Amino acid sequence: MPSKFPKIFLYLLGAILAINLLQAHFTELIFDEAYYWHYAQDMAFGYFDHPPMVAWMIRAGCLFFEGELGVRFISCLFSVATLATLWLTIDHPKKNDFIPHFFILAFSMTLLNAYGFFTLPDTPLLFFTALFLLVYKRFTEKPSALAGIFLGLVMAALMYSKYHAVLVIVFVLLSNLKLLTNKYAWLAVAVSLLAYLPHFLWLYQNNFISIKYHLFERPNDAYRFDKYTLGFLVNLVALFGLTFPWVYRALFKTRPKDTFTRALVFLTYGVLLFFFVSSFNRRVQTQWIIVVSIPLVILVFYHLIKDVKTRKWIFRMGLINIAVLLYLRLGLVIPALFPVHYESHGNKLWTGELKSKIGDIPVVFENTYRLAPMYAFYRDVPTYSLNNINYRQNQYSIDESERTVQHRNVYYVSPFMTNEEVAFTNLKGDIYYGKYIENFESFRKLRAYVKPKTFTLSSEEEHLLQVYNPYDTDIDLSKLKFAVGYLNDYKRIKDIIPMSVRPIDGKIVVLKSNDTTNFTFKLPKPKMKDPGYFRIGISENGLRYGLNGNSIKLE
C-alpha cells in the first residue's frame, strides 16, 4: 500500500518546518504575540479579546523552549500539520504528480505563510479548519457515532481558537441542510457544546465582557469607501499576492458535484460575502478573511491538476511570491532589509534602554496593552497597562496585573507626557516619556452602573449612579473624582467633563469593600455638539479618568 505522504512531500514539509523554526527563534516578538504571551501567564478558559487556544499553545510551547521559540513552537507544528491535513483531504488519483505545485500554491499565500511561525489566534483557526473539513468529509462519507463525536470535538477546538470559527461551521452547515435530519450531526453539536461549556461559564462569570466589547463597545468610524470596502477588495488581492487572478479564476470555475466540494464553495463564498457586507460598516482586517485560504488550497489544487494554463501560472507567480515572502521574512530579523519599520524590530533595544535606566522596578504603561507585555517578556519585571477613558478595555482590565504594582514604587510611561524625562526611543524614532511614582495606587476595576432609561441632555433630572468596589479594601472617597465622557455616534471619545456626585445614603466617606455605593448625578453640558453616547469615568489619585462605565445612548 503506497504511503499517504510520499518522500518528496515529507522532505518539503520538513524543509518548511525547519525554516519556520529558525524564523521563530531569530525573529523578535510582534506586539500581539507579546499580548498573548501575557494571556499565557494566567491560564484560563477565556480572555478579554479571544478564546483561550492561543494561550494554551504558548504555555505548551514554553514547556519545551524559552524565549521567542517557546512562544511560537506549537504554531510551527500546527502550520505543517495544516499542510499535511489538507493533503489528506485531497482525493485525486494524480495528486502525487503535483506535490511541488501543492507546496508552491500553499506556501505562496501570504498570511498562510506568515502564520507558519507567528502565534496568533488565526494559527490554530487555520489548522482546525483544515482538520474540520477533513473530518467532515469522512463524516459525510460514513456517518457514525464515533465520527460524530470526533466532529464535535473538532468544532469545539475551532471555537476555542477564534470566534470567527462560527462562520466556518455555519457555512458548511448551510451547504448541506440534510444534516438537520442526521442524528449523528446532532450528536456532534451536543459534543461540541459540552466541550465548549467551560468557555461559556467563563463568559458568564466575566459578565460576557468579550461579547459586549466586540458587539457593542468597539469604536468605529464614519463609512469611507476607500478605507472600508475598497480596503476589503485590496485584502482579497493581498491574501494571495501575484497568484490572485488564477486563485479566483479557479474558484469561479468550480462547479460543485458532490457534498464536500459544495461545502468548500459555500465556505469560501460565505466568508467573502459576510465580510464584504461588513465592509459597509467597519474596516475588515486582512486576517479576518484568512480562513478562506484553507478551502481555496483544495479547490485551486484540483483545478490546476486539470488546467494546464492555471498550473503554469500558479507555479510561476507562486515562486515569485515565495521569493518576495522569504526576503520579507529575512527582513523581519534584519531591519535594514525590510522596506519599513516593523513591530518585530528593536524591541530588545528599547526594553534594554529602559531597564538600564530604571533597573528592576515595575513599569506602568498608560493606554498600551502592546508595550506592557513586550517589556515584561524581554525584561522579566512586573508591568501593567493602565487604561483610561481615551483608550479601550483589554485583558489588563480583568486580570490580576494591577495587583502586582499596587503600593510599589513604579516607573510610569504615558503618551500624555511631554515634559518628563525620556523613557526610551524605539527604532521608528517614537519618543516615550516617563516618571517615577512612589506608592502607586490605582482602582481601575471600579465599576460604574447607570440604570437603563432614556437620557437627554436637555433634562435637569438627577440620575442614579451605582459604584461597585470589587477590591478587598475600602476606598477613601476623597481619592476619587468623577467625570462624564461624551462620545460621537461611532463611540469615539470626544469630550470629558468633570462632574459632582452626591451619595444617597448619608455622608459616605468610603466605598466599602465588595459592596455597591449609590450616588446621584446630573449630566453636565458637553462642549461637543450632539454627542451620541456618554460613559462614566473615575479618576483615582490624580490619574486620568478610567473606563469604569459602559457607553450609554443619548436621545
DSSP 231: H
pLDDT tens-digit readout, 381-427:
999 999 999 999 999 999 999 999 999 999 999 999 988 999 999 99
pLDDT tens-digit readout, 177-204:
999 999 999 999 999 999 999 999 999 9
Question: Residue 198: what pLDDT?
Answer: 98
DSSP 423: E
Confidence of residue 106 (pLDDT cuts 50, 70, 90): very high
pLDDT tens-digit readout, 221-230:
889 998 899 9
pTM, to two decimals: 0.95
What contacts 504, CB < 8 A, 6 or more positions away? 464, 518, 519, 520
The CATH fold of domain 447-553: Immunoglobulin-like (2.60.40)
pLDDT tens-digit readout, 429-459:
999 999 999 999 999 999 999 987 889 888 8
Instruction: Parse the chain into domains and list their residue ranges.
Output: 7-336, 351-437, 447-553
Mean pLDDT, the chain, integer: 95
Please state, in angstroms and as integers, the Cα–Cα distance from residue 445 to each residue in 215, 394, 543, following that order: 21, 12, 14
Has residue 69 got a pLDDT over 90? Answer: yes
Q: How much is the average pLDDT of 171-181?
A: 97
Has residue 2 got a pLDDT over 70? Answer: no
Please state, in angstroms and as integers, the Cα–Cα distance from residue 138 to each residue in 307, 372, 449, following that order: 27, 45, 51
Q: How much is the average pLDDT of 139-161?
A: 98
- Of the candidates 71, 4, 8, the residue with the CA atom closest to the CA atom of residue 41: 71
Confidence of residue 3 (pLDDT cuts 50, 70, 90): low
Q: How much is the average pLDDT of 251-259?
A: 95
Q: Which residues pair with 53 in a beta bridge?
A: none
CA torsion, ordered 249, 254, 255, 258, to nearest 10 deg: -170
Cell numbers linked to 355: 531597564
pLDDT tens-digit readout, 465-495:
999 999 999 999 999 999 999 999 999 999 9
- The residue type of 380 is D
